[in-house]
Amino acid sequence: MSEEILRLESLSKSFGGIRAVNDVSLSLKKGEIVGLIGPNGAGKTTLVNVITGVHPADAGTVHFMGENVTRQRPYQAARRGLCRTFQIVQPFPENSVLDNVAAGAVFGGAVPSLKQARERAMDLLEFVGLQDVASQPASALTLPNRKRLELAKSLAMKPKVLMLDEVNAGLSSGEIDGALDLIRRIAEQGVTILIIEHLMKVVLGVSERIVVLDRGAVIAEGPPMEVVKDERVIEAYLGSKYAQRLKEKTHG
């Protein structure tokens, strides 16, 4: 298919003896939507943190567009177009919604002037449907709107790869459909998307490929429908006993 944009090789990160990310290798192709799932504590957010340089990797490499970026700092990742949203949203609470997005544009997106950044920010707010609250302080937003703001902010950085860390957590099913629709529209613009979720069903519909993480390691990878049938995946999510029972039921 098309060219590779992000490649992780044997990436590892430990915290005080616990291997939060354990020998993870992964490759993303330009323009695809990949789901990264795994139970709570599987190391999904840590993996994103290692990729973007929040935590330095203990071992392994990250290549972005052919360049070794393993040692980058978070702001460098953002400027390169390797962007992410936060599971726990991180707005600038006193800034207006517009200025939150403008910050992404002017620093991450290399827009030369603040004025242009605000214009671009306004377009993006329209894209995510926040144009009516543009002048409100970010701290006044509701949770679904904060998630959208987070999305608009990352888009302002002109991402090439966008890692969405649980953008759907805490949303109702109707709101999730809206968010997924938005994600598809972003992907249509040629942005590679890694969608990180704790709930499997959210990503199944939208992802072309799914990677399953458990206890820091990749335990399965492939098309959505194959992955959900994988025994190890069921075991990781439901526990070995339940997996055993399920197996007996379906086969016996």
Partner 1 sequence: MITRTGLILFAIWVVILATTPLHADNYIVRTAIMISMYSVLALSWNFIGGFTGYPSFATVAFFGLGAYVGAIAQRNGVPMVVAWMLATIVVGAFAAALGSILLRLKGHYFAIGSIAVVEVCRLVISSWRSVTGGGDGLNIPLLRWSPDDVAIFFLMVMLVLMIIVFALNAFVSRHRLGFGLHCIRQNEDAADMVGINTTLYKVIAFTLSALFVGTAGAAYASWVGYIDPTDSFSILMTVKVPVMVLLGGAGTVLGPVIGAASFVVLEEIFWSNFLDWNRAILGMVIVFLIFFLPGGLLRVSFRKVRDRLKGREGVAT
76 torsion bin: left (phi>0), alpha (psi -120 to 50), beta (else):
alpha
Site string for partner 1, 191-230 (x = CB under 8 A): ----------------------------------------
Nearer to partner 1, 113 or 142 (CB): 113
Nearer to partner 1, 165 or 197 (CB): 165
78 forms part of the interface with partner 1 (CB under 8 A): yes
User: Which residues on neighbouring strands pair with residue 173, listed in sequence order?
Assistant: none
Question: Least distance in Å: CB of 114 to partner 1?
Answer: 6
Number of shown-chain residues binding partner 1 (CB under 8 A) = 27
Nearest to 230 by CA among 215, 249, 207, 246: 246
Nearer to partner 1, 12 or 116 (CB): 116
Question: Least distance in Å: CB of 152 to partner 1?
Answer: 12
d(CA 127, CA 17): 44
10 forms part of the interface with partner 1 (CB under 8 A): no
108 forms part of the interface with partner 1 (CB under 8 A): yes
Question: Least distance in Å: CB of 100 to partner 1?
Answer: 9
User: Which residues on neighbouring strands pair with residue 9, listed in sequence order?
Assistant: 61
Residue pair 113/91 in contact (Cβ under 8 Å)? The answer is no
Nearer to partner 1, 24 or 117 (CB): 117
Nearest to 151 by CA among 115, 107, 117, 184: 184
In three-state secondary structure terms, 218 is strand
Of 104-112, 125-133, 164-172, 219-227, which part binds partner 1 (CB under 8 A)? 104-112
Nearest to 149 by CA among 72, 86, 67: 86
Pairing of strands 33-37, 192-197: parallel
243 forms part of the interface with partner 1 (CB under 8 A): no
Of 25-33, 75-83, 121-129, 193-201, which part binds partner 1 (CB under 8 A)? 75-83
d(CA 70, CA 95): 32
In three-state secondary structure terms, 2 is coil
Q: Which residues bind partner 1 (CB under 8 A)?
A: 52, 54, 73-75, 78-79, 84, 86, 90-95, 99, 102-104, 106-109, 114, 153, 156-157
